[in-house]
Structure 1
Amino acid sequence: MSNLLNSLITELRRGTLTLAVLSQLQTPQYGYSLVQLLEASGIAIDQSTLYPLLRRLEKQELVLSSWDTSESRPRKYYVLSDYGKEIFLQLKEEWMKNSKELYRLLKGENEDGIN
């Protein structure tokens, strides 16, 4: 695969990973559980990508974090904030709309279903 193609694929995935991560934070998750949930849905994400993304989402106030120290190994859990829930729903709606439009384009149809 060419460097250009790799770069374009990375660019294409960047936004989708953010949406995928937000979609799984309706309930509290820690990093590894999040990786497992995403991989079970066919979305591979490296921890070296996930943790900076989680920190950015927390800084943007879309995600809240808290430490659970009840087990022998402390875990940092992440969950959508109320603001994050609002933003997620808007992003999801936009993604669904854009996906339908792009699918039509890639199939070679206009809005009337005419090629």
Structure 2
Amino acid sequence: MSSLLQSFTTELRRGTLTLAILSQLRTPQYGYSLVQRLEVAGVSIEQSTLYPLLRRLEKQELVTSNWDTTESRPRKYYVLTAYGAEVYEQLKNEWTQMTSELNSLLKGEKDDEFD
């Protein structure tokens, strides 16, 4: 893959990963469970990408985290805040509209309108 294509792919993935993560945090998830859920859906993410993204989302007050120390291995669980749920719904609506528009363009349906 050329470096230019790699750069474009990285840009595309950056926003979609945020949306994918927010979609899975309506219920509390810890890092590894989140990676597993995403992988089942066909979305791969490295832990070196996931944890900084989770910290950024927490700093933006979209998610909150809590440690669960009841198990032998402590786990940090992340979940959407009320504000995060609102932002997620808005992003989901934007995504739906944008993908519909792009699909239409990519299929060539809009080209016919200019003839």
In which range does the TM-score fall when normalised by the shorter chain? over 0.9
The TM-score, its normalising length taken from structure 1, stands at: 0.95
The whole-number CA distance in structure 2 between the counterparts of 1:18 and 1:24 is 10
How big is the alpha-carbon RMSD for the aligned residues of Structure 1 and Structure 2?
1.7
The whole-number CA distance in structure 2 between the counterparts of 1:112 and 1:60 is 43
Runs (4 or more) in structure 1 with deviation over 6 Å come to 111-115
Equivalences for residues 1-115 of structure 1 within 5 A: 1-110=1-110
Change (3 A) 1:43 1:22: same
The whole-number CA distance in structure 2 between the counterparts of 1:28 and 1:92 is 19
Give the CA deviation at 1:57: 0.2
Identity of aligned residues (%): 70
Give the CA deviation at 1:94: 0.5
Structure 1 residues 48-80: Cα deviation after superposition (integer angstroms, max 9, x where no partner): 000000000000000010000001111000000
Question: Any gaps of 5 or more consecutive residues in structure 1?
Answer: none
Question: Any gaps of 5 or more consecutive residues in structure 2?
Answer: none
Change (3 A) 1:110 1:82: same
The TM-score, its normalising length taken from structure 2, stands at: 0.95
Q: Secondary structure at the match of 1:91?
A: helix
The whole-number CA distance in structure 1 between the counterparts of 2:43 and 2:113 is 31
Change (3 A) 1:8 1:82: same
Give the CA deviation at 1:39: 0.2
